[in-house]
Structure 1
């Protein structure tokens, strides 16, 4: 029983070390320079451990993004306002857009790496479902807040437009130059303008 617990603790520690190493490396280097071997070395584990835990580079990148997205989801559902429940819809929307840009800005290398694996994701229903579940939650939350504040607007389409901006080449380039704050301010301006129109 003790050996099983130690094994589980080691596995959890290895997982955490691998994810943290991947995020650190993606913040420092272009995605194409962040190999599984490099991640393993930075995490202090064997390459086989990384492949055993995540299956592939695409699997590791997806897991890292999903983990960041789940942390944001928990803040939205159970955290304090204005990100969490209890604030006015427009305040929650602004806070959520800031939080999404922070996740994307902190993980711009991760987004680029996920972009590289888009073809692989098309070939894997599981990968596609995971990526779509993150988008679905973000989209559903944004459109829900818009609809709550302004039921007369096309909340579904506005949410797609706001999120679509995060995937455009010029925006990804701006994030790469450390312009996350500028992007957050502009998204808030767009959202506020739509709510006041």
Structure 2
């Protein structure tokens, strides 16, 4: 990538980051808004990101890289349930901290969070943990079910809940799913 193109890409991501951070409704941020905030032409956005969904995915990826690296390096905990619970807690915290952006991502395109790279990554990671606890037979499905408990639309719906209530529910669900062997 040329140096000016790389600078433009970074300027766009920084501008989009600021706009999504300040927004209460992700659908109100347009490509025109981002281009104006970044000081580039709208065509630059489309060349680098393809469309609005591509821009949102790139921004989400940039924000989530550290979380992904940290959690992929190794999940702490003595049992698979502890490791799964740690992963799910961190996903909730990330989604709470990045609520507008994660809602935009999960609502982008066809509206399915199941078709994103990050979902695939977390599903694969959690499937391995569930397999350790219960065997591989139902691990794929159970990983999907556990990840449904931390979907952005649910996190948003329950955003007024105190952390202790979230923690209690997530702990009860995770431990009940992973408590029994195959």
> Which TM-score applies when normalising by structure 1?
0.70
Residue 118 of structure 2 is matched in structure 1 by 134
* Matched-pair contact (CA < 8 Å) for 2:75–2:83: yes
Matching of residues 120-159 of structure 1 within 5 Å: 131=116, 133-151=117-135, 154-159=138-143
How far the C-alpha of 1:34 sits from its partner, in A, is 0.8
Q: Does 1:166 align with 2:150?
A: yes
Distance change in 2, residues 1:13/1:90 (3 Å): farther
How far the C-alpha of 1:138 sits from its partner, in A, is 0.9
Distance change in 2, residues 1:154/1:110 (3 Å): same
> Which TM-score applies when normalising by structure 2?
0.75
Residue 52 of structure 1 is matched in structure 2 by 47
* Matched-pair contact (CA < 8 Å) for 1:143–1:155: yes
Matching of residues 27-46 of structure 1 within 5 Å: 27-29=21-23, 30-46=25-41
How far the C-alpha of 1:184 sits from its partner, in A, is 5.0
Question: Mean Cα displacement is larger for which, 158-167 or 62-71?
Answer: 62-71
Distance change in 2, residues 1:180/1:67 (3 Å): farther
Unmatched tracts of structure 1, length 5 or more: 123-127
Give 4+ residue runs of structure 1 displaced > 4 Å after superposition: 177-182
How far the C-alpha of 1:57 sits from its partner, in A, is 0.9
How far the C-alpha of 1:168 sits from its partner, in A, is 7.1
Specify which of 100, 104, 118 is matched with residue 109 of structure 2. 118
Could you tell me how far apart the structure 1 residues matched to 2:118 and 2:55 are? 16
Would you tell me which structure has more helix in proportion to its own residues?
Answer: 1
Could you tell me how far apart the structure 2 residues matched to 1:88 and 1:155 are? 16
Question: Mean Cα displacement is larger for which, 27-36 or 86-95?
Answer: 86-95
How far the C-alpha of 1:81 sits from its partner, in A, is 5.1
